[in-house]
């Protein structure tokens, strides 16, 4: 899995990039078919940085979340939380919502 961290209108310290990469990699524990994660930190407004997280998974549309907060790490935490919810919801739809087979349909009707 590939994690790309980039910054607009500014630069990130190496330590911050490593921390962002570690937090982004935790999304993988919710869904195994994740191919890549892109994190974009927009520091156009220094007092309210904007973070966008884009998760690309196999066989589905990309999961995208954005957040704005007073600090980069707070915005990252909010965006990661949003994308985790999206991934969990997708996984639940894929794994748990299967129809009743013909073999068991008569048991359900009774």
Domain map of the chain by residue range?
2-97
Which phi and psi angles does 44 have, rounded to 5°? -65, -40
Which phi and psi angles does 59 have, rounded to 5°? 80, 15
pLDDT tens per residue across all 110 residues of the chain = 899 999 999 888 899 899 999 999 999 888 888 999 999 999 988 889 999 999 999 988 999 999 999 999 999 999 999 999 999 999 888 887 666 666 666 555 55
The pLDDT of residue 1 = 81
The pLDDT of residue 20 = 93
User: Using CA atoms, how far apart are residues 99 and 90, in angstroms rounded to an integer?
Assistant: 17
The pLDDT of residue 104 = 62
Q: How big is the CA angle at 108 (ends 105 and 110), to the nearest 5 degrees?
A: 115
User: Using CA atoms, how far apart are residues 104 and 84, in angstroms rounded to an integer?
Assistant: 34
What CATH number does the domain located at 2-97 have? Answer: 3.30.160.100
List beta partners, residue 4: 38
């Amino acid at each position: 899995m590939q994690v790309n961290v980039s910054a607009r209108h500014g630069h990130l310290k190496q330590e911050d990039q490593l921390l962002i990469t570690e937090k982004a990699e935790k999304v993988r524990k919710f869904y195994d078919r994740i191919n890549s994660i892109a994190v974009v930190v927009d520091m156009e407004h220094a007092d309210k940085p904007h973070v966008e997280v884009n998760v690309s998974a196999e066989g589905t549309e990309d999961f995208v979340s954005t957040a704005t907060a007073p600090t980069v790490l707070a915005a990252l935490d909010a965006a990661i939380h949003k994308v985790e919810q999206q991934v969990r919801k997708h996984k639940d739809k894929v794994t748990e919502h299967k129809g009743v087979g013909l073999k068991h349909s008569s048991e359900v009707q009774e």
